[in-house]
Amino acid sequence: HLEILEELFPGYENTWRSSQEPARKGYAGTMFLYKKELTPVVTFPEIGAPSTMDLEGRIITLEFDKFFVTQVYTPNAGDGLKRLEERQVWDVKYAEYLAELDKEKPVLATGDYNVAHKEIDLANPASNRRSPGFTDEEREGFTNLLAAGFTDTFRHLHGDVPERYTWWAQRSKTSKINNTGWRIDYWLTSNRVADKVTKSDMIDSGARQDHTPIVLEIEL
């Protein structure tokens, strides 16, 4: 895989972290590609999350001179919400982590947050009230994250535009066709640099289901 990445992105370094034992090996992971002329300090933070969450390769942070860029793959509450309590602890710990970064310099944070924040952020809110990713607890966790000093850049730029999603269930063959999606992938920024964002949007991935790429452009 690393050889293929070198072939496809010759001008880029990559840094990655994958789930490791005693967590389920290869179960989750994150990766950054960044231009070779850049020299960020790379860290793989552990935030004091419950069970094996800190060993699941979920966060990578790049520190640049004037800002941080960090990505996250937030744990899913799981079938039957079996991981919901642990997820709530994660949300608190992650918000504390971002807030600590924000004390040093502005933060650009992205990833799969595994939550549709508001009813407008998914196609069928009524029937998903207790589905993983749309429980009151997870939504409150995301509200609290924003309240710690962060801006959902897509809503900041676009307001309450409906039917804009980043994920469509692969289990349902018609989810992409019918646009019965969820917006669960975000670019967040520290409040103080939100007005410097010039673009925050989804990149059309055609008929492909699951996640679509998202893009942020910011004038720092």
- Percent of the chain scoring above 70 in pLDDT: 100
CATH superfamily of 14-218: Endonuclease/exonuclease/phosphatase (3.60.10.10)
Q: Is 152 a catalytic residue?
A: no
Model pLDDT, residue 135? 98
Annotated domain spans of the chain? 14-218
73 in catalytic set:
yes
State the average pLDDT over residues 192-201.
98
86-143 pLDDT per residue, tens: 999 999 999 999 999 999 999 999 999 999 999 999 999 999 999 999 999 999 999 9
Average pLDDT estimate for 34-43 = 98
Of residues 91, 38, 99, the one with CA closest to residue 65: 38
Closest among 112, 42, 50 to 87, alpha carbons compared: 50
Residue 170 has which token pair? 């692969």
Within 8 A by CB and 6+ apart from 25, the residues are 18, 19
pLDDT level of residue 182 (50, 70, 90 thresholds): very high
Look at residue 37 in the predicted model and tell me its pLDDT.
98
CA distances from 103 to 95, 96, 107 (A): 13, 11, 9
Contacts of 79 (CB under 8 A, 6+ apart): 132
Q: HEC string of the chain?
A: CHHHHHHHCCCEEEEEEECCCCCCCCCCEEEEEEECCCCCEEECCCCCCCCCHHHCCCEEEEECCCCEEEEEECCCCCHHHCCHHHHHHHHHHHHHHHHHHHHHCCEEEEEECCCCCCHHHECCCHHHCCCCCCCHHHHHHHHHHHHCCEEEHHHHHHCCCCCCCCEECCCCCCCCCCCCCECCEEEEEEHHHHHHEEEEEECCCCCCCEECCEEEEECC
Q: What is the pTM of this model?
A: 0.96
* Catalytic position from the list 112, 121, 152, 185: 112
